[in-house]
Amino acid sequence: MVNKSFTSAAIVTGFSDFWSQQHSDALIVSDTETLALEQQSHDMVAHMMALHWANDPVGQLIQCRRALRPDGLFIAVSFGGDTLQELRRALGEAEIAVTGGLSPRIAPLPELRDLGGLLQRAGFALPVADTVTLTVEYRDIWHLMRDLRAMGETNAMTARLRQPTRRAVFEAAQKLYAAHFAAPSGRLRASFELQVLTGWAPDASQPQPLRPGSAQKRLADALGTPEKPLQD
């Protein structure tokens, strides 16, 4: 979709084995606090499925921005705020009903409206934030949690429950999940919101916004529609 060739790509990820197999010619960088990226050394930097784990997401964006050459492309994909909304509700209601309390289980994830501002704070030009939701079906809640563990997406919050959760909580959550979020097939639906961020390292060749009020043609003429004044 981007009409440009890239010759020096870097991929920031916690899944180095997977991405090195997919893109053997790219530099694979671990998603540590300080990224192993040299300044202005790449024409594309991709941050893949790791930004939602960062303690300092703005710092990660800034480091990626500094690693780009002028007019270099940054792209990031990570989980968004609507991810596992079904599991959040079912576990929360079940835990309150069984134990009378509620413990943190799923880390807070960013909202799409906040991400465009983060790109601008990091110094990117032409920032775009978009989202797509993938719906996956599971046989039951235990198979969903097994998949999350295999993905490396288990609970890492410092305030998490420090003892094993009672089985009654999961059994109640399974009943709530099946009652409210079952697919027509009878399996359980789980939503994964993928947030996609793109931005460019600033360069003089990029399109620049015109000064407000400097337009030479009316929008109504471009759309071929009559212009009508608004009523008071």
Token digits for 79? 């989980």
Q: Which pLDDT does position 48 carry in this prediction? A: 95
The pLDDT profile of the chain, 232 residues, written as one tens digit per residue, is 788 888 999 999 998 999 999 998 999 999 999 999 999 999 999 999 998 888 888 999 999 999 999 999 999 999 988 899 999 899 999 989 998 887 777 777 777 878 888 898 999 999 999 999 999 999 999 999 999 988 888 777 776 777 778 899 989 999 999 999 999 999 999 999 999 999 999 988 877 777 777 777 877 888 888 888 777 6
Two tokens at 16? 């180095």
Neighbours of 106 (CB within 10 A): 19
Q: What is the pLDDT of residue 232?
A: 67
pLDDT at 112: 80
Contact 13, 50 (CB under 8 A): yes
- Residue 105: both structure tokens together: 């289980």
User: Domains of the chain: which residue ranges?
Assistant: 9-205
Tokens of 185: 């097939």
Global pTM reads: 0.80
Question: Which of the four CATH numbers 3.40.50.720, 3.30.70.1170, 3.40.50.150, 3.40.50.300 does domain 9-205 have?
Answer: 3.40.50.150
Contact call for residues 110 and 76 (beta carbons, < 8 A): no
Among 31, 35, 63, 65, CA closest to 48: 31
Beta strand 188-200 with 125-138 is: antiparallel
Q: Which residues pair with 182 in a beta bridge?
A: 188
